[in-house]
A and B are shown apart, each in its own frame.
Chain A
Amino acid sequence: MLSTGILLAITLIIFSCKKSALDTSDPNNLTTGNYYKTAAQLKQGVNAIYAILHQNNLVSREWYYLHDTRSDEVAAGGGQLEVPRGQLLNNTDDPTNSVMNSVWNGWYNVIFRANVVTDNAPKVTDNVADVKESVGEAKFLRGWAYFDLVSMWGGVPLVTSVPKSPSEFKPRASVDAVYAQIIQDLTDAAAVLPAKSATDKGRATAAAANAMLGRVLMQKGDFAGAKAAFLKIPTSGPDGYTLTPRYLDNFELATEFNPESIFEVVFVDKGDNGYNWGGESASEEQSTVRNQEYCPVAWRNLIPSNKYLNEFESTATGAAKTDPRFSYSVYQTGDTFNNGNDVLTDGAQNGNSSVVNGVTKKISWRKFMIIYQESASTAGFHPGGNNQRIIRYAEILLDLAECDNELGDISGAVALLNQVRDRADVAMPHYPTAQFPVASKSDVVKAIMHEKMVEMGDEEVRNIDILRWRKAGYFTTEPIANFKPGRDELLPIPQAELDNNPLVAGHQNPGY
């Protein structure tokens, strides 16, 4: 029995000595406790917000689908349009709609990462200027996120700091409270962000923040405030913005970050046909599938609506000049592509035809497509690297025109519209025209609505404009087909939010 006792004693000694062996820690990762301590780390946190922004949930895919299908500029290209996208287009969506859920999740992901930056910034002291700029970028992106959310869903949960426990639920805030937050964020951002020459291409600038702030104030009906914000955008010098002489510069690869471009979401094609469906790594794919989704010779899921196509001034319908922006914005059968080497045929474009001024033909989107420089076989599957222009100077001019008109300065508004029509390769006759007189505020409203549709078609602003103009009573007929008043003004709150947020459950938008 002595040996037993010795053995047991040894056992116990080993056991008590080895206790510390259980205190292991992850050798591969830093933790929230020891990161975000320096300005450089904080900047990495900011970069991670941008990374979310250009993933599948947002600007490389679902974001433009959601905006486009809520506008009247697009129609189904054919049978390939997937069911959730078709639901949005036809206003048959419900709280489980995957596209809408993706955008909601994506924006809240942006907000969370922005909150990580704003929460940690006060404790970072090693480079005050850099920290300030980081906070400005975070607030710009958070402001944009909430603007998209409040425009499409109404009052949403307002989260402005990182949740510390799984039960820190936030109820739906009022629309005004969300706007107040957005305006605060964008105002703060505009105050600290640098001009474009002082930062990387693709980062938020003071001009981008002022442009976004102007959009937001306009949507809220504060046209004076909006105008003030827009006017802070410089128009000359190295940090100035101006219209490019060539309209297509705004949609092509070689002319990214041109003088008209105020904010872009950056994509790069690594040449491997790779696309990031949602993963994250240090060397993740950086492409967008927009080039794929709308491409005339690829999926062609959404095509321009007849309404949009017929909006363009045309000699066929009595205009003095056919608007050249028509053929800059869309491809039609007979157009050349692949650097002029190939001709687009009806047969190469699957799916539905369009009717323009009484003529039936196949028409597809051209904006942001890159078949202008590549063949149909390459385009069969090719996620591209074309940057998505989010805000460009032409929109600012059109928005300023709307502000002036709303503030009573009709002639100022018309001058701004004509400035847009004066682009070298557009050169449309000045307002007033036979079809668009500009004698009254309401005349100018019509001109603005026309000009913005043909200038900014498929650039994800029309649906937001519709919300504002519908409220102002500017539409004689409802622009959205199958629109159900009292329901389709807003999207349904996603099912996952209702299911998992007890403070939101029971507070669905009307009609769902």
Chain B
Amino acid sequence: MKRKYLLNSYSLTIFLPVLLSVVVLNSAFALPKIEHAKALAKAKNFNVDLLVNGKVTDESGVALPGVTITVKGTTVATTTDPNGVYHIRVPNAQAVLVYTFVGYLSQEVNINGNIVLNVQLKADNKSLNEIIVIGYGSQKRAAVTGAVSSVSGKTLSSLPVGGVDQALQGRVAGLTVVNNGSPGNAPIIQIRGVSSVNSDSNPLYIIDGVPGGIGGIDPRDIQSVDVLKDASSAAIYGSRATNGVIIITTKKGSNNNNVALNVDSYVGFQELTKRYDLLNTQQYVKYERALDGNAFPTPIGVPPRLQDQNFNLPIYPGAKQTFAETNTDWQSAYFKKGVLQQHDVSLSGGGERSRFFTSAGYFDQDGITQGTYYNRKNFRMNSDHNVNKLITIGETFNVSSTRQRFTIDPGNRTGITNVVRMLPYIPVYNPNNPGGFMGPQNSFDGADPVNPVEFALINENRNYGFSIHGNAYLTAKFTPWLTFKSTYGIDYGTNRQEQYTPIFNDGGTGSSPIASITENTNSGTSTLYSQQLTFDKTFAGKHHVSAVAVYEVQTNRGDSQNSFGNQNNNTIRTLQNATNTTTNYTYSTNVLQSLVGRVGYDFEGKYLLSGSIRRDGLSVWAPGHKYQNFPAASIGWKVDQEDFMKDIKSISEFKLRAGYGVTGINGTVLGNYPYVSNVSAGGTTYPFNNLATGVNQGNGSFYNSLSNYSLHWEITKSTNIGFDLGLFQNAFTFSAEVYKRKTDNLILNVPLPPSFGFGSNPNSNVGSMQNIGIELTAGYHKASGDFKYDITGVFGLDRNKVLSLTGSANGSIVSGGDADFGGGGPLTNTVVGQPIQSFYGYVVQGIFQNAAEVSGHATQTGAAPGDLKFKDRDGNGVIDANDREFLGSYLPKFTYSLNYAATYKNFDLSLFFQGVYGNKIFNAEKIILQGMPRLFNASTDVLKAWTPGNTNTDIPRAVSGDPNGNVRPSSRWIESGSYFRLKNLQFGYSLPTTWLKAATNNNINKVRIYLSSTNLFTITKYTGLDPEIGSKNGTLTNGIDYGQYPTPRTFQVGLQATF
């Protein structure tokens, strides 16, 4: 396992040359143009009166390169050089210079005959002029009437995570991000609650104007992320916008005649934060007797292995240690520390005509469990060019290559479940066995867990992903108020999945007499062709009218090629001359055609109106249901612009907003042909004449669902009301939103009675659901002096309720049942009046202490003293399925986060706290830990099980066979999921700029080093490994801990430098 190097030699040898060649190429076309522009400027030969020069700095005196200086009322402009110095010719001594720079308040200075003007710019904390990217355009923050939240690229890149989605956790009110597995597995993202039962909750990602996946995007390439949360802003994306829209804008170069090289690098490690307390060998032996000796209906003998004559044998021939002397800590064997590292190099710059941003990045995350890792290499090139006054052309281009190793759980049993269950007296390894591992023999050991280390390492599952995301655009500015933009984008991704199992035999539960090779290649291509006309004009200085019209076509095609075969040796890992080979190839397509229109009007910047409509046509619906309109409207009132408010100096901003809109769920999540019942011709087989292959292969055809030719869009209607308040030059900022979202025509897999005989349930539009919520964002920004800091708090509350379910017979959809986790009964139920997928089961009322208590209670089949007493909810004297009730929801009552960022001179500190409150977790793993239905290793809690002599306990009696069903889904397994977590702590130091520049002869502008940790501590009552619980497979199983890969704690040290 010498795969890891702190500085990966691969990234250095491959990426640096690539990067350098890009630098050369870009410079080759960018820099000469700068010279050209200067020459042009000279040729224009002004009537020059004065040459003004000076230096622009920030409040602390640090030079600001790239500041634009314009002579007011003219087009004469320049920018500051790397040392903040500028020169500009002005027509007369009374000219006014306007200094503008992103992130700073612009300043106007009358030169009053001075020829040297040194200017300090003040940082703009919450700029009203901040540009917000909205669908098909951008707006000043002041003019926004919807609920749009923005996150800067700097904030996003502060966490040591590989993906944009993970980086957004806790940054936006109303946006929840939940960890869902080992490295490389996407988290679950939700904006403003769950609005769909079956369909995925992923928001629509728009990357530089083109919809696409975010898997290949390096957070460090991002300029800003804008989250369109309410329907009035998101409805411009129509049929795909119900889950919200996340618009990602990647970095562009600057026109400052400069080239900056940035290096951003960190190295660290991650580890498990919490462990289970499991039985050791000695405790296990004791527990075995307590459980098997008390089996129902008759005691079970000691498993042969635990009998002295076997237990005192060496663990394998030649070993000195006996089973009795072995005490394997399976948690230490399965969990490990993982190295985490990321290295990015970027180069940006440009001249007056052209600018570019290019970067290369490497991210590598080793899992904290055996056999998991993820790494990504990415390369980006963005540039844009003003061809002339009319035409601008630009492109963005991103390539990424990912590699993931993952585990496929054996059956329903996750690796962590096997860690809990694995027998402590069995060693991890046995060099005598083919494959080198040792497993339990179910007959001999009386238990059949799987060696989790063996399973993770011997089965090799890898994903090799490659994606290209690129777009090119042309903008034609016909007049200052009329612009045409044409965009063509391609998003191509391919993944090759390789699964390999060698010939091995651990002498017990794990063996394979033949090697298996699976090679699956999937690729998807999405193209977008978008034409946009934008009108923007102010009439009579008061009436500002803007309008956008778009025609857009997006096509998708997915191809899938799967192959499988066996080899009778462990040397050949291809399908050359393999046996039992099978292969399959399929493709499918979809097309989305859209017409979009939006009109905005504002009067004196005070009264804002906006209306939009999108008409989408999507191929996946049945004929006659392919088109749908998605309208939206919003209004805003800038109260601060009213005369009566202008005198109130303390209020710097006050805006009221309201909006309404209609959105849909992306129909393609149902597949490309969801309404048709297909015949799987040759899709099954039966071995007549004892022949498994040949003539019988694929000799059966079947179908297993009903067609539904009336399937159509899920429609969400949303209302949003909010306000923004800024006090004391926006030192205090506050935003609040109230929303209501109602989804109609909810698409569900209507559960058919099993007597229909279909293997699957048809999709139908049945039911409706609503979310009501509040979002608050408050901040204080101290931006002057040596000690600057910024506090932002985010609060989100959402209440979900199912309003109707007309499709299922008794208005109930149950899910999550699993024989290992509670005997098979469902763990969640979705019914009208309750939040979606509420936990469902019996209510435990304590433990029967004696026979009289058993007979005095409602009839509970199998109950005896020491068993759990379940509540007779319906009071009919019998404990049965009708006594199950709702036990809580996985949805938090509210979520919150607090971000604190401070700088003192050259030091900086940031703290990011994040938490959820009021949710429940169904701790299904606790059933494995202390359920005791049959013999496996378990938590030490089982030693506290009820016995006649130990009655003061909440663990019921140990009885193999569990006649009372103590493991059944019940309130016993429901725990509070509230947590409060220090998500990130970062402490940095920047070398003094002036010293640095002097010491390096102006070659290095900035160096910052930092120490950082994520998940440093978590406060929670949850007893599992991690309270952040995702979903098993998206099917109404959120918040059930089946032994999920926990969020690790990380520590890292990083370096950022600008050359």
Q: Mark interface residues in A55-88 (1 if CB within 8 Å of B CB, else 0).
A: 0000000000000000000011011111110110
Known: A35-B681, A50-B686. A157 touches B307 (CB 8 A): no
Contacts of A353 in B (CB 8 A): 301
Rounded to whole angstroms, the CA-CA distance of A147 and B170 in the bound complex is: 59
B447 close to chain A: CB less than 8 A? yes
Q: A17-25, A397-405, A425-433: which one contacts chain B?
A: A17-25
**Contact, CB under 8 Å: B513 / A22:** no
A154 to chain B, nearest CB (A): 14
Q: A377–B507 contact, CB under 8 A?
A: yes
Q: How far is the CB of B931 from chain A (nearest CB, A)?
A: 9
How far apart are the CA atoms of A352 and B617 in the complex, in Å?
66
Chain A's nearest CB lies how many Å from the CB of B812? Answer: 6
Q: Is the CB of A166 within 8 A of B807?
A: yes
Q: Which of B686, B935, B963 contacts A54 (CB 8 A)?
A: B686
| Complex Cα–Cα for A348 and B446 (A) | 10
B-side contacts of A295, CB under 8 Å: 443
With A80-B446, A270-B580, A272-B512 as known contacts, state yes or no: A282 contacts B697, CB within 8 Å. yes
Q: Would you list which residues of chain A between 333 and 368 have a CB under 8 Å from chain B?
A: 346-353
Q: A14: which B residues are within 8 A, CB to CB?
A: 551, 553
Compute how far the CA of A30 lies from the CA of B441 in the bound complex, rounded to whole angstroms: 46
Please name all residues of chain A whose beta carbon is closer than 8 Å to the beta carbon of B588 when the two chains form the complex. Answer: 26-28
Interface stretch of the complex, out of A224-232, A409-417, A463-471, A489-497: A489-497
Contact B683 A98 (CB under 8 A): no
B593 at the interface (CB under 8 A from A): yes
Is residue B571 contacting chain A, with contact meaning CB distance below 8 A?
A: no
| A166 near B618: Cβ-Cβ < 8 Å | no
B754 touching A101, Cβ below 8 Å: yes
Count how many pairs of residues, one from A and one from B, have CB atoms less than 8 Å apart in the complex: 378
Question: How far does the Cβ of B526 sit from chain A's closest Cβ, in whole Å?
Answer: 15
Mask, B670-711, CB within 8 Å of A = 1, is 001100111111111111111111000111111100110000
Closest to B818 in A: A98
Please give, as numbers and ranges, the residues of chain A lying within 8 Å of B480 by CB-CB distance: none
**Which of A284, A495, A502 has most B Cβ within 10 Å?**
A284
Q: Is B952 interfacial (CB-CB < 8 Å)? A: no
- Known contacts A26-B678, A202-B687; A166/B591 CB under 8 A: no
Is A476 in contact with chain B by the CB < 8 A criterion? Answer: no
- Pick the contact of B753 from A28, A35, A96, A169 — CB < 8 Å? A169
Question: Given the complex, which residues of A lie within 8 Å of B309, measured CB to CB?
Answer: 347
Q: Say whether A315 faces chain B, with CB atoms less than 8 Å apart.
A: no
CA distance A159 to B752 in the complex (A): 14
Q: Which residue of B lies closest to A269 (CB)?
A: B692
Chain B min CB distance to A311 (Å): 19
A30: chain B residues at CB < 8 Å are 678-679, 681
> CA–CA, A30 to B679, complex, Å?
5
With a cutoff of 8 Å between Cβ atoms, the chain B residues found around residue A352 in the complex are 298, 300-301
A92 touches B756 (CB 8 A): no
- Cα distance A378–B434 in the bound complex, in angstroms: 13
**Docked complex Cα distance between A273 and B623 (Å):** 46
Q: Which of A106-114, A122-130, A454-462 is found at the contact surface with chain B? A: A106-114
Asked if A104 meets B754 with Cβ closer than 8 Å, knowing A22-B626, A27-B588, A377-B507, the reply is yes
Residue of A nearest to B549 (CB): A8
Instruction: Please judge, given known A-B contacts A281-B582, A353-B301, whether A26 and B757 are in contact too, CB under 8 Å.
Output: no
Q: Does A213 contact B (CB under 8 A)?
A: no
A97 within 8 A of B: yes
Q: B756 contacts A51, CB within 8 Å? A: no
Q: Is A209 on the interface with B (CB-CB < 8 A)?
A: no
A504 at the interface (CB under 8 A from B): yes
B673 with A26: CB separation less than 8 A: yes
Contact between chains at B754 and A502 (CB < 8 Å): no
Q: Find chain A residues with CB under 8 A from B750 CB.
A: 166
Chain B residues lying within 8 Å of A245, measured Cβ to Cβ, are none
Cα-based distance from A202 to B692 in the complex (angstroms): 12
Q: Quick one: which of A111, A297, A499 contacts B814, CB cutoff 8 A?
A: A499
Question: How far in angstroms is the closest Cβ of chain A from B994?
Answer: 54
Q: Are B549 and A201 in contact (CB under 8 A)?
A: no
Asked whether, in the complex, the Cβ of B507 is within 8 Å of the Cβ of A380, the reply is yes
Q: Looking at the assembled complex, report how far the CB atom of B439 sits from the nearest CB atom of chain A, in whole angstroms.
A: 8
- A350 engages B681 (CB within 8 Å): no
Are the C-beta atoms of B935 and A280 separated by less than 8 Å?
Answer: no
- Any chain B CB within 8 A of the CB of A236? no
Would A157 and B753 be within 8 Å (CB), given that A44-B700, A79-B961, A495-B881 are in contact?
yes
Contact indicator B880/A18 (Cβ below 8 Å): no
Chain A contacts of B685 at CB under 8 A?
47, 51, 281-284, 286
Q: Which residues of B contact A82 (CB under 8 A)?
A: 819, 933-934
**Closest approach, in angstroms, between the C-beta of A412 and any C-beta of chain B?**
37
A161 to B512, CA, bound (A): 43
How far is it, in angstroms, between the C-alpha of A26 and the C-alpha of B679 when the chains are bound?
A: 11
Say yes or no: A26 contacts B676, CB within 8 Å.
yes
In the complex, what's the smallest C-beta–C-beta distance from A160 to chain B, in angstroms? 11
**Residues of A in contact, count (CB < 8 Å):** 126
Contact B295 A79 (CB under 8 A): yes
**Among B80-88, B328-336, B369-377, B758-766, which stretch is in contact with chain A?**
B758-766
Which of B444, B588, B754 has the most chain A CB atoms inside 10 A of its CB? B754
- Residues of chain B within 8 A (CB-CB) of A482 are 297
Given the complex of chains A and B, what is the CA–CA distance between A166 and B967 in angstroms?
Answer: 34
Question: Which single member of A75, A92, A496 contacts B963 (CB below 8 Å)?
Answer: A92
Tell me if B478 is interfacial: C-beta within 8 Å of chain A: yes
Residues of B within 8 A of A21 (CB): 553, 555, 591, 593, 619
Verify B589–A24 contact, CB threshold 8 A: yes
A26 CA to B291 CA, complexed, in Å: 55
B260 within 8 A of A: no
Q: Is the CB of A350 within 8 A of B444?
A: yes
Contacts of B590 in A (CB 8 A): 24
**Is A45 an interface residue when CB atoms closer than 8 A count as contact?**
yes
A170 in contact (CB, < 8 A): yes
Does residue B198 face the partner (Cβ distance < 8 Å to A)?
no
- Minimal Cβ-Cβ distance residue in A for B823: A83
Which residues on the A side are within 8 Å of B817 (C-beta)?
96, 98
> Do A299 and B443 contact each other (CB < 8 Å), given the known contacts A8-B549, A26-B673, A256-B690?
yes
Contact A299 B448 (CB under 8 A): yes
A477 within 8 A of B: no
Does B691 lie within 8 Å of A268, measured CB to CB? yes
A22-B617, A266-B686 given as contacts; is B810 within 8 A of A502 (CB)? yes
Report whether B446 and A502 are in contact in the complex, using a CB–CB cutoff of 8 Å.
Answer: no
B residues 562-591 in Cβ contact with A at 8 Å: 564, 566, 580, 582, 586-591
**Neighbouring B residues of A270 by C-beta, 8 Å:** 580, 692-693
Q: Which residues of A contact B702 (CB under 8 A)?
A: 45, 48, 51, 113, 116, 280
In the complex, which residues of chain A have a beta carbon less than 8 angstroms from the beta carbon of B684? 47-48, 51, 280-282, 284
Quick check: B824 and A97 within 8 Å, CB to CB? yes
Q: Does B605 contact A (CB under 8 A)?
A: no
> Of A45, A266, A300, which is within 8 A of B687 by CB?
A266
Determine how close the nearest CB of chain A comes to the CB of B873; give it in whole angstroms: 15
Please judge, given known A-B contacts A29-B681, A109-B757, whether A347 and B509 are in contact too, CB under 8 Å: no
Residue pair B757, A159 in contact (C-beta under 8 Å): yes
Beta-carbon contacts under 8 Å, A1-53 to B? 3-4, 7-8, 11, 14-15, 18-19, 21-32, 35-36, 41, 44-45, 47-48, 50-51, 53
Complex-state Cα separation, A21 to B589, whole angstroms: 11
Ordered nearest first, which 8 A-B pairs have the shortest CB separation? A112-B757, A282-B698, A501-B753, A48-B700, A29-B678, A98-B824, A47-B700, A44-B701
Interface residues of A (CB under 8 A from B): 3-4, 7-8, 11, 14-15, 18-19, 21-32, 35-36, 41, 44-45, 47-48, 50-51, 53-54, 75-76, 78-84, 86-87, 90, 92, 94-98, 101, 104-105, 108-113, 115-116, 156-157, 159, 163-166, 168-170, 200-203, 256-257, 266-268, 270-273, 277, 280-284, 286, 295-300, 346-353, 376-378, 380-381, 385, 387, 481-482, 494-502, 504-505, 512
9 A-B contacts (beta carbon < 8 Å): A21-B593, A22-B618, A36-B679, A76-B298, A90-B296, A96-B817, A271-B566, A300-B443, A500-B751
